[in-house]
Structure 1
Amino acid sequence: MSALKVLHVITGLGIGGAEQQLRLLLPHMDRVRSSVVALTNPGPVADALRAEGVPVIHLGMRGNRDLSALPRLTRLIRRGAFDVVHTHLYRACLYGRVAARLAGVRTIVATEHSLGAAQIEGRPLSAGARALYLAGERLGTATVAVSGTVARRLAGWGVRPSRIRVVPNGIDVPRFAFDPAARRAARRRLGLAPGAYVVGGVGRLAPGKRFDVLIRAVAALPEDARLLLVGEGGERERLERTARECGAADRVVWAGAVDRELPGLLSAMDVFVSASADEAFGLAIVEALAAGLPVRYVACPALEDLPPEEAPGARRIGGTVPEVVAALESVVRERHAVPAAVRRYDIARSAQRLTSLYERLHNGPHNGPHDDLYDDLYDGLYDGASCR
């Protein structure tokens, strides 16, 4: 069978979960010839993709209502004679599906990366956003959910279950293995004492991540506690002000947005906490588990969709400051073996499932009846285990 030509259309290629997930997937898709179009902001992930030999095109879209991007994208898809168009993130899904249809592409896949219970990509859900989403979704062939939780949310929204597939996010598991030398080096570089109790948080500095809860919780811990925040975003100034107000300005270490350095930073931590109450997957939590860290989280579909014994080092907690403080005070500072849950989310496995989906859709009937919504939940991903 000849390799399928697949065009990935994504809103931007800055450092973010969906963008990094795309970069991780492509090298493992050996039966696919991939190209990428960024509607806007090509960013550092575009450079990384090009360095790995993936063609990347910047469409130069000027905003959500830049309709001139639609004919440009349509022409690009038609000239490329792509077998599959795969869209990522809200804006790219809307424009990409329409353009693919206009260009005559029969197989159109979209991944829903960031659908929470009350927000999509960090923005509050509204009736208008939902209506527009559903109108665009009907132009595609299939919608991929990154977790069983997201699949159920999509079905609840009105997406036909026969059109939903579950292909979970994945990580490069060996890359995150705990490294004592990297721990020492990272702590020296960041000015963290060897014996400091380091609480870690990773993600965009956005309101929904609730890093202010972590700051206030660490401020209530003994003096040797430090908070290592990995990420960047519009909430940085407000979070710095919060740290000053609760007397923790010198106890918060801001690592900024990183990529290659992330495994070393996870090695430098003693416990990982996610205070976000609304997640679509919880990729940073899975990465922390791969680093052997004890994990405390408020919401994580990646773990909630699995039996609890799959991740013994992780505990679900309440999201108030006192609850986070109590959880941190009771953590035993020791590394854990990489749990079974992490192995289920290996990036090569996700890439294989996605490649098989492309081939099945491209070679089979389109928009016809399909197996039940949960087939992909159990087939291969959960090996028949019941979901909680």
Structure 2
Amino acid sequence: MADAPLKGLRVIEMGSLIAGPFCGQVLGDFGAEVIKLEDPKAGDPMRQWGRTKPKGHSPWWPVIGRNKSSVTLDLRAPEGRDVARALIATADVVVENFRPGTLEKWGMGYDDLASTNPGLVMARVSGFGQTGPYSHRAGYALIGEAMGGLRHITGEADRPPARAGISIGDSLAGLNAALGVMMALHARQRTGKGQVVDAAIYESVLTVMENLITEYDLSGYVRERSGAILPGIAPSNVYPTRSGELILIGANQDTLFKRLCEAMGRPELATDERYRDHAARGVNQLQLDATIAGWTVEHDIEALLPLLEDAGLAVGRVYRAPDMLKDPQFAARQSIVEVAHPVFGTVKMQNAFPQLSDTPGGVRWPGPALGEHTDAVLGAVAGLSAEAIAGLRAKGVV
């Protein structure tokens, strides 16, 4: 990755769990030098997360810790904060996701750090942002997803709100933070000054909520849970097949719906007054879906897929991890890569996205052992002698 787009960018990651570290993961994937500071006693809790523990190790850590150097440092100790300041003085970016006010309490707020490094960009990821009456509340993804509007519209209409199955609020906040870092670095090229990127989880969810606010403002309509469909967008749903698998079909445009009708052997449906245009299909969505399901369930998915693909329709299976690992599209684009690992031998994980044509990102190594790079980084970057590092280690600071 000699030509990685962020090569030469130094990032100090101070944070744990998902939201802040996901920002560091994204930056590291594209070549940034990410130095992760971890508590000497236990490290990032992500080292312990996961429903399974193959060979006694978390399958989470190789992913979110990838492409990072691990340095143990107790930021609660004055000596630890002194070392952190020395590292940050050499950095382009700091990523943190402590509760707002924590760094200020330690004398490490943005103004303090920028006084010796005016070009510093600090990405601050939190539940509610650095300002406002909720800023000091604990903010986890489930709260941000609820306040941002995602939870209320997720799930079946007759059941309580569901979750996505992943901590999507955390990942969206981390992604927003990485995008903000790129914007701030671009601005720094003009001004020479760094700035704070304030990424709140609830706002990161809100930003992908399409027209939810505007629709209510203009019409009073409150979007509700609708299960596998979007109300008024038809046909676009999952349908049963004779082989037992579900098939997804999207044919809500008039031209696509006509092709679907022809593939079904029911061309007359395209001119039926109930389905003849987008609005009519929306009004009669449930009836139309029942008609399509009655056709798909008479066929195996292996027959339906090529038939509908040849008709130019958006169609596919509902994938699980095993399906991804054997799919030729994933293989052709190297969407999943296999990385050498000291415990697992090799480990498969998603690649770096998006794909760049000339300076792509990639996975150089999986999440490192706790403190694996402490001596090397503190010596080369912070300028500490071996004796000084040994002294800090004796005090439990590193």
TM-score, normalised via structure 1 length: 0.36
TM-score, normalised via structure 2 length: 0.35
Larger Rg: 2
Q: Give the structure with the larger helix fraction.
A: 1
Task: Pick 1 or 2: higher relative contact order, CA cutoff 8 A, min separation 6.
Answer: 2
